[in-house]
Structure 1
């Protein structure tokens, strides 16, 4: 005999709206503690929840929340990643009047942990004219994130969790290439330039997701000259000669109100000079370490280290080491300083196969950073809500 809960799950596809709503409300709490309940009968409840995303807003909100909570399971995750459901989510998140856009952003962030969602990088769809001029799904999601912060596009959404979606996609080579390549259909804009400006945003979710995206993109060594260049156009870069100017956005969160000597500031990037006396350093230690690991990745070539020295990264990292009383941050500072300041042997260093991690590193020793694709940072955790 089926239990009362199993009977309740059956009501998710009931023809009566009120019954579906009551079922969704009562099942919501179980989505955090009773995963098998939602996997019974060959994932029938998951199939019902996917349909309920299109239901009335209160029902859809509960359905999305349940899918967010159970999508940590690999079998459920694979069941979510079909083209029809993906289009349903995209059509809603790009809709200016969608009341559950933030929940959709959370679900997309979890779905991006499945390799198959890389296909969104090459997906074309109808243009949501109030939002974007592009037919590319990724451009539309970028527009949601950039234009939609703090209710700027949809009064019911801030789209912050798309930062985690971008971070997960940038773990894949195709995702990194998209993020660091000028897009001919978008006036040759490098997508990463749309994200890096949020490293000092008020939203912790945005700062964390964007910091991880920048770090992941720094694993793409061929893009390093583009990432560190602050010239536009830069004749040293291949056409269309677009420099990303990433360094100010990575370094600024590491800086506080400290004053620097004339010797230290000579050659320092203009964006980092004459900061306000009330300038605050990033408060989240994990975000700080992520930015330091990005610098370390950008130091893996001779040219990268040369740029770091020329723009006076050392005094900024030195002050960060002095001011932040955290062993992890100080160890990360030590590694960056040792790479920047050591003597060159004239040979480029390759990022080790599989990538680098500070885990268990001794202070002052060069260690490998583990690739984001193999390591779960805080932003990489499955989103789960009540």
Structure 2
């Protein structure tokens, strides 16, 4: 005999709107505590919830909230992620500037991106939402939502911040990395990552964290490093690439505070990093700082990348970041960057950075550089 809760779940597909609304409101809390309730009868409640996102806005909001809560279950995640019709419904609604539940849809898409089947979004064409985008590609449309929709710029009810997590999760896949780091011919050869990197200093913590992870995952595509570091060739006699991302300023600015640097430190430093405001604040989240430092490590896996970082004086910036943090994880990440960037290259003398290396002295400054031949502990994973 069905329990009262099981009977309540049955009302999710009731013909009366008020009954559906009452059922949805009362079931939201149980979606966090009673997963089995939503998996009964071969996921019948999940099928109802997928239909309810087309219902009246209050009902749709509750349905989306429940799907977000239960999508950490592998079986539920597989069901909603592989459903092409459901995916198209989500895309059609999130790209509609009048969609009041766009943020909830962004959160659900971010969860769905954890499933391998969502890679198909990278090759998905759909109708063009003319008020939003000129592209027929679903990924471009979502990127336009994220960029144009910041702080309610496209939809007054949404900021689309959680789409940053969607891009980060797709960046775990080789196809996702390729999309993020490759010039798009249909979009004036713009590199999608350049649309994300400008938000590394945004006011939204969600947006900064998601973008930092997306950038890090994208840089696992080592073939893209010359493009990402473009216009910063270590050989001034060589012309810069015709298309590039100029990524480094967006990684380094969050690491910097209001500190003043000696002339020998600023010589060669990127223009965007000089003459900062005296009230410039360093990124407050240690996890975001660590993610940016890990991205610098990834970009330094080639000699060319290390040469660029030496040329633009990455070391003094990391040194000051190390000096002004008490977080042990950040200190260790700073130390790793210094070990890789300032280590001796084959056939070269040891770099002797003025004012520091990787070990602290009594004042807390990094003053001695350890030389290690093997990088066994230099292993980064996608986030």
TM over 0.5: yes
Between the aligned partners of 1:285 and 1:296, the Cα distance in structure 2 is 16
State yes or no: 1:369 paired with 2:370.
no
Between the aligned partners of 1:166 and 1:290, the Cα distance in structure 2 is 15
State yes or no: 1:23 paired with 2:23.
yes
Find the counterpart in structure 1 of residue 190 from structure 2.
189
Find the counterpart in structure 1 of residue 245 from structure 2.
244
Q: Label 1:259 to 1:236 Cα distance change in 2 as closer, same or farther (>3 A).
A: closer
Deviation readout 1:336-356 (Å, 9 max, x if unpaired): 001111110169xxxxxxxxx
Structure number with greater CO (CA < 8 Å, separation at least 6) is 1
Residues 317-332 of structure 1: pairs in structure 2 closer than 5 A: 317-332=318-333
State yes or no: 1:32 paired with 2:32.
yes
Displacement, 1:326? 1.2
Between the aligned partners of 2:136 and 2:159, the Cα distance in structure 1 is 22
- The answer to whether the 8 A contact 2:98-2:155 is kept is yes
- The answer to whether the 8 A contact 1:264-1:315 is kept is yes
Find the counterpart in structure 2 of residue 154 from structure 1.
155
Between the aligned partners of 1:109 and 1:218, the Cα distance in structure 2 is 20
Q: Any stretches of 5+ residues in structure 1 without a counterpart?
A: 348-362, 378-386
Which ranges of 4 or more aligned residues in structure 1 deviate by more than 3 Å? 234-237, 363-366
Between the aligned partners of 1:231 and 1:93, the Cα distance in structure 2 is 38
Displacement, 1:368? 2.6
Please say which structure displays the higher CA radius of gyration: 2
Displacement, 1:228? 1.0
Q: Any stretches of 5+ residues in structure 2 without a counterpart?
A: 349-368
Between the aligned partners of 1:370 and 1:302, the Cα distance in structure 2 is 18
Find the counterpart in structure 1 of residue 203 from structure 2.
202
Q: Helix, strand or coil for the counterpart of 2:159?
A: coil
Between the aligned partners of 2:266 and 2:218, the Cα distance in structure 1 is 28
Figure out how many residues of one structure are paired with residues of the other and give that number.
354
Between the aligned partners of 1:283 and 1:346, the Cα distance in structure 2 is 40
Deviation readout 1:223-254 (Å, 9 max, x if unpaired): 0111111369x8554xxx21100000000000
Between the aligned partners of 2:30 and 2:302, the Cα distance in structure 1 is 51
Deviation readout 1:134-156 (Å, 9 max, x if unpaired): 10000000000000011100000
Displacement, 1:299? 0.7
Residues 28-67 of structure 1: pairs in structure 2 closer than 5 A: 28-67=28-67
- The answer to whether the 8 A contact 1:218-1:297 is kept is yes
Q: Helix, strand or coil for the counterpart of 2:47?
A: helix
Find the counterpart in structure 2 of residue 294 from structure 1.
295
